[in-house]
Amino acid sequence: VQTVYSFGGNADHSDPRQKDKIVTGGKGANLAEMASIGLPVPPGFTITTEESVRYLNEGADFSDTLRADVAKALEHIEQTVGKSFGSKDDPLLVSVRSGARVSMPGMMDTVLNLGLNDETVGGLATTSGDARFAWDSYRRFIQMYSDVVLGIDHGLFEEALEIAKEDNGFYADTDMSAEDWQSLVAQYKTTVEEELGKPFPQDVQEQLWGAIAAVFDSWDADRAKTYRRLNDIPADWGTAVNVQAMVFGNMGDTSATGVAFTRDPSTGEKAYYGEWLVNAQGEDVVAGIRTPQYLTQRRREAAGASAPSMEEAMPEAFAELAETFDLLERHYRDMQDIEFTVERGKLWMLQTRSGKRTANAALKMAVDMEGEGLIDRKEAILRVDPMALDQLLHPTLDPDATRDVVTKGLPASPGAASGKIVLDADTAEQWAQLGERVILVRVETSPEDIHGMHAAKGILTARGGMTSHAAVVARGMGRPCVSGASAVSIDREARTLRIGSREMKEGDTLTLDGATGEVMAGVVVTIEPELAGDFGVLMEWADAERRMGVRTNAETPADCRMARQFGAEGIGLCRTEHMFFDAGRIRSVRQMILAEDEAGRQGALDALLPEQRADFAAIFKEMSGLPCTIRLLDPPLHEFLPTQDADFADLADATGLGVDHLKRRAAELHEFNPMLGHRGCRLGITYPEIYAMQSRAIFEAACDVAAESGEAPVPEIMVPLVATRRELAILKEQIDTVAEAVFGEKGRRIDYLVGTMIELPRAALMANEIAHEARFFSFGTNDLTQTTLGVSRDDAARFLAPYVERGIFARDPFVSLDIEGVGQLVRMGVERGRQTRADLKLGICGEHGGDPASIAFCEEVGLDYVSASPYRVPIARLAAAQAAL
């Protein structure tokens, strides 16, 4: 197989592997695609991801084949542009960039201007006719290469540049002359030699292979690992390397560089959107070092900016660019994110890819593109990442609330957030772990800040535009972000900041509105989201395509109401123990547990009955007409035991039993492994009066609501942690007996079902037996995962992260179902259960019911419904539709 693919010039682009992102990465595949449809792409070559995997596995060693193939591909570039690599007369310069299967913005390394040394810099000066440009390029190269490949702190170089400017009384980089840059280059080289103990590499081949190795290695850098973990990217994909002839956006005022989107990535509006800089290199735009200008006249005017747009300053190049945008959108049938450079009036395309977008924009584009005939309805449904909907379901700022606006920056990523100011990523992570809501405030962010951005509720930067690192990453993560708020100045030593005239410090509260760019002091009131518009349209399309029902896990009327608004079609799990922990009831619950005998227990249960009845009645009213699965008490009694002296004293007062006596009883009930102890249906078997009380409360409430509203709820009574048919048989008989008694008393009957959770491996194995007693199964995949893997749900955090990082688990099995392992038990439960009872109703109510990948599996095995927490209901609706397509 080929290790290297050439693109551009007269390269042959016919091997389908070259356009396969798995082989050549996203960037490489798209460069080949653009070149083959005739767009102006500087010639270059891509080293496959397979080579990077081999390199990393084989201890950082390049194969001879690779070396030979790279040499050949380099020749192709030389022939196409008519320059030669390392030539002191007319040198070829190249860029070296990473390009994984999916885009990982800013996560991996790039080196520009490679091929410059003390000799070739003279050739560049002659051929470009611009010595200043040549020396500026050389110093940029030393700086970037030293940072990325040699691991020297780039701050050292920036400092030297600042000092050089100060000594000369210069304000901007553009004030530096050729001689100034030349003497800075000399300084840079000394710095490298001091730091490294050897000179900066002059051999261009050594430079090239150094850069290739650095890109390969960057796949395993900490920041890339963090990004992979947050985005579920497997560790074994590796990254391709793209080596490409340099084109220069910094060759004077007819040159420029920019980043653009074919539609607005924040709102989805069908309007070109982007930023550019005259006389600059690509990294200047992305790094947020200079504040970029607007691409179009309309945007510039709307923003009231004075620096001319590209449309005004370079009308011809802009017209060609706009044409290219349209062509690319039609070709890829999706919004594109593009990097381009204009070198002395000539447009070059450096990259295109499907652009990252906010959830709002994704919805709007999917619905719009369906309307434009670019994609069909099914494709529109597939275009929206279900998890991204999460961004839309959370509150935004109340437009009527008072806002103490302290400054305004760019609306880089929508959504609103309030929280405490933190000034660095590590602090953000630490405070967030302590449960604080934090706002990360930085001059600008870099890939090293990724963990802090993730931990923060919102991000504020003083520098950088709409396509800066902060903006791109925040949009991808769904974090609100205000960037380029230049009134913000930070004193990291003192841990304070000043916004305009306002002094603030770390820990003060700030609110961001990522949709307007406003930054406000204090907390601002929020309102619930509007679920109409494009959201409603796409959800309707999704509902029409999905086969599975979507229910919710809810146990309060407020959660039920919210879930219904989000489209829930019933309750899949009402955990009744949450009602037991309620402050007003815990005393009765403890009294019941610690009672010596049945009579003592019954007294406490009599006090709980009316409260439970009221709980269920409220839920039945909210969910009128929809099925409600109510699970009988599940957690170990151990969890309800008092631990504080005050609680024992209080209980002693209430029961008339002595504190010592109660403590002794509590000690007797203490369990070493409560999760495998006295819990679930084992409680119902040993203390039948508990389940009897709960069943009575359910049936009485159902009868009362039916009498009151005329619409009878359909309770589905669910028994937890069943392992044997006999357990369920005993409990079912008891539930039926209570039902008959209540129906007799109330003078009416209602329909109900008795079923069980399948959450122990034995239950899945014996599903054919258990189904004789059950009208429905609900897979409790939280416990099923815990018991199948032998991994405690409550203690796994400590080792699961490293497990995922090392690829032992592809994903956290409590978040996304372990399909190949636990999934077998689910499949077995489905098949064996239906063998016994063809109309057995099947659902899932573990956390996995709200996870798109797990939902796809549920569709595959033929479950009837999934159940998810209220905010996940829309995610589940969309994921279920995608799974059905």
Residues with catalytic function = 469, 845
Contact (Cβ atoms closer than 8 angstroms) between residue 559 and residue 552: yes
CA 617 vs CA 268, 409, 483, 573: distances in Å: 44, 50, 49, 16
Q: Does 783 bind Mg ion (CB under 5 A)?
A: yes
Which sign, positive or negative, has the C-alpha torsion 834, 839, 845, 850?
A: positive
Return the closest-CA partner of residue 766 out of 758, 778, 776: 758
Token pair recorded at residue 715: 């309770």
Q: How many residues bind Mg ion (CB under 5 A)?
A: 3
Cβ 576 to ligand PEP shortest distance, Å: 10
The answer to whether 575 is annotated as binding is yes
Identify which of residues 136 and 759 has a Cβ nearer to Mg ion in the complex: 759
Identify which of residues 398 and 639 has a Cβ nearer to ligand PEP in the complex: 639
Q: For Mg ion, which residue of 386, 627, 780, 849 counts as binding (CB under 5 A)?
A: 780
Binding string to Mg ion for residues 254 to 293, with x set by CB under 5 A, is what?
----------------------------------------
Cβ 846 to ligand PEP shortest distance, Å: 3
DSSP for residue 531: -
End-to-end CA distance of the chain: 34
Q: Does 130 bind Mg ion (CB under 5 A)?
A: no
Distance of CA 16 to the CA centre of its chain: 31
Return the closest-CA partner of residue 661 out of 590, 587, 596, 589: 596
Cβ 630 to ligand PEP shortest distance, Å: 13
DSSP string, 788-829: HHT--TTTTHHHHHHHHHTTSSSS-TTTS--TTTHHHHHHHH
Cβ 489 to ligand PEP shortest distance, Å: 48
**Residue 437 site contact among Mg ion, ligand PEP, none (CB < 5 to 8 Å, cut-off depends on kind):** none
The answer to whether 673 is annotated as binding is no
Token pair recorded at residue 572: 């899949």
Cβ 632 to ligand PEP shortest distance, Å: 12
In whole angstroms, give the CA distance from residue 709 to residue 716. 19
Cβ 691 to ligand PEP shortest distance, Å: 16
Identify which of residues 445 and 867 has a Cβ nearer to ligand PEP in the complex: 867
Distance of CA 721 to the CA centre of its chain: 33
Token pair recorded at residue 598: 């049945």
Identify which of residues 526 and 782 has a Cβ nearer to ligand PEP in the complex: 782
Cβ 720 to ligand PEP shortest distance, Å: 7
H helix count then E strand count, the chain:
35, 33
Cβ 753 to Mg ion shortest distance, Å: 19
The answer to whether 228 is annotated as binding is no
Identify which of residues 329 and 783 has a Cβ nearer to ligand PEP in the complex: 783
DSSP for residue 593: H
Q: Which residues lie closer than 8 Å to 328 by C-beta, 6 or more apart?
A: 34, 39, 262, 336, 338, 352
The answer to whether 547 is annotated as binding is no
Identify which of residues 93 and 723 has a Cβ nearer to Mg ion in the complex: 723
**Residue 845 site contact among ligand PEP, Mg ion, none (CB < 5 to 8 Å, cut-off depends on kind):** ligand PEP
**Residue 575 site contact among ligand PEP, Mg ion, none (CB < 5 to 8 Å, cut-off depends on kind):** ligand PEP
Cβ 762 to ligand PEP shortest distance, Å: 15
Contact (Cβ atoms closer than 8 angstroms) between residue 856 and residue 816: no
The answer to whether 360 is annotated as binding is no
In whole angstroms, give the CA distance from residue 631 to residue 755. 9
Token pair recorded at residue 24: 């050549």
In whole angstroms, give the CA distance from residue 184 to residue 188. 6
Identify which of residues 615 and 759 has a Cβ nearer to ligand PEP in the complex: 759
**Residue 781 site contact among Mg ion, ligand PEP, none (CB < 5 to 8 Å, cut-off depends on kind):** ligand PEP
Identify which of residues 348 and 779 has a Cβ nearer to ligand PEP in the complex: 779
Identify which of residues 114 and 842 has a Cβ nearer to Mg ion in the complex: 842
Q: Which span (380-388, 531-539, 562-570, 773-781) binds Mg ion, by CB under 5 A? A: 773-781
Q: Which residues lie closer than 8 Å to 528 by C-beta, 6 or more apart?
A: 395
Contact (Cβ atoms closer than 8 angstroms) between residue 351 and residue 31: yes
The answer to whether 17 is annotated as binding is no
Distance of CA 85 to the CA centre of its chain: 42
Q: Does 680 bind Mg ion (CB under 5 A)?
A: no
**Residue 846 site contact among Mg ion, ligand PEP, none (CB < 5 to 8 Å, cut-off depends on kind):** ligand PEP
Identify which of residues 47 and 817 has a Cβ nearer to ligand PEP in the complex: 817
> Percent helix, strand, coil in the chain (nearest 5)?
50, 15, 35
Identify which of residues 92 and 844 has a Cβ nearer to ligand PEP in the complex: 844
Write out the binding residues for Mg ion, residues 711-770 only, by CB under 5 A: 759
**Residue 51 site contact among ligand PEP, Mg ion, none (CB < 5 to 8 Å, cut-off depends on kind):** none
Contact (Cβ atoms closer than 8 angstroms) between residue 181 and residue 130: no
Q: Which residues lie closer than 8 Å to 300 by C-beta, 6 or more apart?
A: 293, 294, 307, 308, 309, 312
Interface contacts to ligand PEP, rule CB under 6 A: 573, 575, 634, 759, 780-783, 845-846
The DSSP bridge partners found for residue 460 are 441, 482
Cβ 780 to Mg ion shortest distance, Å: 4
In this structure, the chain runs to a length of 885
Q: Which residues lie closer than 8 Å to 841 by C-beta, 6 or more apart?
A: 716, 753, 755, 775, 776, 777, 864
Return the closest-CA partner of residue 680 out of 767, 754, 575, 785: 575
Please classify residue 385 by burial: count the beta carbons closer than 10 Å to its beta carbon, then call 0-12 exposed, 13-18 middle and 19+ buried: middle
Measured in degrees and rounded to the nearest 5, phi and psi for residue 684 equal: -65, -35
Three-class DSSP labels, 656-696 = CCCHHHHHHHHHHHCCCCHHHCCCCHHHHHHCHHHHHHHHH
Cβ 809 to ligand PEP shortest distance, Å: 18
Please classify residue 809 by burial: count the beta carbons closer than 10 Å to its beta carbon, then call 0-12 exposed, 13-18 middle and 19+ buried: middle
Antiparallel, parallel or unpaired: β 416-422 and 509-513: antiparallel
The answer to whether 780 is annotated as binding is yes
Q: Which residues are part of a known binding site?
A: 575, 631, 759, 780-783
Q: Which residues are part of a known binding site for Mg(2+)?
A: 759, 783
Q: Which residues are part of a known binding site for substrate?
A: 575, 631, 759, 780-783
Binding site for Mg ion (CB under 5 A): 759, 780, 783
